[in-house]
């Protein structure tokens, strides 16, 4: 049985000077007729933003936020007092640490693309990741992940379907890392005090990992055979996608290292935010908290709106953090990790060359 594989490209090809130029081998034009087939679909991100689905997801997220605020019996005066007393030194450090996550993720993506036979510079990859995060922050359904592949196709001529395979590999690595960290740190910092909801979240996480691994096995074992029942262009698109996914796991130790560094950056941000509010917490506890709340990103709202904030109020009290403080922590952390992405990403999306590419 034929299995998805990388084509013999020889040494990784440096395409840093290429722009929408076909690359020989499997990274070449996906549409045989060059008319924009399955692997080169048009994508109108701005058009997809103004839809009922996006509006409904935002309303759902806002509804969760309203429920969180009302059910927490928040005292606005107390919250305002805590905001006025925030330590700007710790908070500024949180911002700086958070900024490091983008180049680290850019390096990780660069490694996966190299394993797929294409060498691209880190800077454009980092910028594309940032733009994709903006798209994911304002639209549901992880549209930004497909947008990343679309930008890579337009700028460097790489296959969309194979690039999406590298993005899938990133998502798998992230989820496996989060669930593993949640289990290890949970046992270390909570011991016998593990909350029922945390146990259920961990069980759900391991079930998700098992499903993903099973899916990868089925893709590798039966994917080619099944997809041969479809038209050739669909089969070819799938084979590029599968090849991109499996080739991304060539160097698992390095993939795990970059993934661990990325999530260490996220935990460092949260640790500094919590310390800025005068709450004593250990780095290990911050790592547990960031793993727990990050799994809330599965909520079908833009950027996990509402779900992540609710997760803060469910997890922080496990460490003796009062509800009023947990609300402030959630707001100040999301100000960095969510709202700043929208504020900084909008002009980048509208004015930058890469952002404008969605309109071409």
Is the pLDDT score of 20 beyond 70? no
SS (H, E, C) 289-302: HHHHHHHHHHCCCH
> Hey, what long-range contacts does 96-102 have (CB within 8 A, 24 or more apart)?
97/265, 97/268, 97/269, 97/272, 98/265, 98/266, 98/268, 98/269, 98/336, 98/337, 100/265, 101/262, 101/265, 101/266, 101/269, 102/126, 102/129, 102/130
Query: Which pLDDT value is given to residue 355?
Result: 63
CA-based nearest residue to 1, from 215, 226, 213: 226
Residue 166 · residue 192 · CB < 8 Å: no
The pLDDT tens digits for 4-18 are 544 433 334 444 433
Give me the count of residues in the chain. 360
| CA distances to 61, 75, 198 from 324, in Å | 21, 7, 21
- Give the integer Cα–Cα distance in Å for 56 and 301: 9
Query: Which pLDDT value is given to residue 139?
Result: 87
Q: Which pLDDT band holds residue 48 (cuts at 50, 70, 90)? A: low
What is the average per-residue pLDDT within 140-160? 88
Query: Which pLDDT value is given to residue 49?
Result: 65
Residue 176's CB is within 10 A of a number of other CB atoms, namely: 19
The pLDDT tens digits for 271-327 are 999 999 999 899 999 999 999 888 877 777 888 888 888 889 888 988 888 888 898
The pLDDT tens digits for 71-96 are 777 778 888 888 888 999 999 999 99
pTM of the model: 0.83
Residue 182 · residue 284 · CB < 8 Å: no
The pLDDT tens digits for 199-213 are 777 788 888 889 989
CA-based nearest residue to 303, from 66, 179, 134: 134
Q: Which pLDDT band holds residue 19 (cuts at 50, 70, 90)? A: very low
Beta-carbon contacts of residue 283 (< 8 Å; ≥ 6 apart): 267, 268, 271
Greater pLDDT, 303 or 262? 262
- Give the integer Cα–Cα distance in Å for 220 and 31: 24
Query: Which pLDDT value is given to residue 28?
Result: 47
Q: Which pLDDT band holds residue 194 (cuts at 50, 70, 90)? A: low
| CA distances to 171, 244, 245, 347, 357 from 144, in Å | 13, 18, 18, 16, 14
């Amino acid at each position: 049985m034929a299995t998805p594989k990388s084509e013999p490209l020889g040494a990784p090809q440096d395409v840093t000077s290429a722009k929408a130029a076909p690359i020989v081998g499997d990274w070449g034009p996906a549409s045989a007729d060059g008319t924009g087939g399955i692997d080169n679909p048009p994508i109108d991100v701005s058009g997809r933003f103004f839809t009922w689905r996006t509006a409904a997801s935002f309303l759902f997220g806002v509804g969760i936020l309203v429920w969180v605020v009302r059910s927490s019996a928040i005292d606005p005066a107390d919250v305002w007092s805590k905001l006025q007393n925030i330590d700007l030194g710790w908070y500024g450090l949180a911002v700086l640490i958070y900024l490091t996550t983008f180049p680290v993720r850019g390096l990780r993506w660069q490694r996966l693309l190299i394993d797929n036979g294409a060498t691209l510079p880190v800077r454009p990859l980092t910028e594309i990741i940032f733009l994709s995060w903006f798209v994911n922050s304002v639209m549901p359904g992880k549209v930004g992940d497909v947008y990343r592949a679309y930008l890579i196709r337009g700028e460097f001529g790489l296959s969309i379907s194979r690039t999406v395979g590298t993005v899938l590999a990133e998502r798998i690595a992230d989820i496996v890392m989060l669930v593993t960290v949640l289990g290890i740190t949970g046992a270390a910092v909570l011991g016998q005090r593990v909350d029922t909801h945390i146990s259920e979240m961990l069980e759900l996480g391991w079930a998700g990992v098992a499903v993903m691994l099973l899916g990868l096995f089925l893709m590798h074992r039966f994917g080619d055979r099944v997809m041969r029942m479809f038209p050739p262009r669909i089969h070819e698109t799938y084979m590029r996608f599968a090849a991109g996914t499996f080739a991304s796991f060539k160097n698992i130790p390095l993939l795990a290292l970059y993934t661990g560094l990325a999530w260490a950056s996220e935990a460092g941000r949260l640790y500094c935010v919590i310390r800025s509010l005068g709450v004593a917490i250990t780095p290990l506890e911050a790592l547990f908290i960031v793993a727990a709340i990050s799994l809330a990103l599965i909520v079908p709202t833009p950027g996990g709106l509402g779900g992540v904030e609710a997760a803060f109020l469910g997890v922080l009290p496990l460490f003796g953090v009062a509800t009023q403080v947990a609300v402030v922590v959630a707001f100040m952390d999301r100000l960095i990790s969510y709202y700043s992405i929208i504020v900084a990403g909008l002009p980048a999306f509208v004015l930058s060359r890469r952002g404008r590419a969605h309109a071409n």
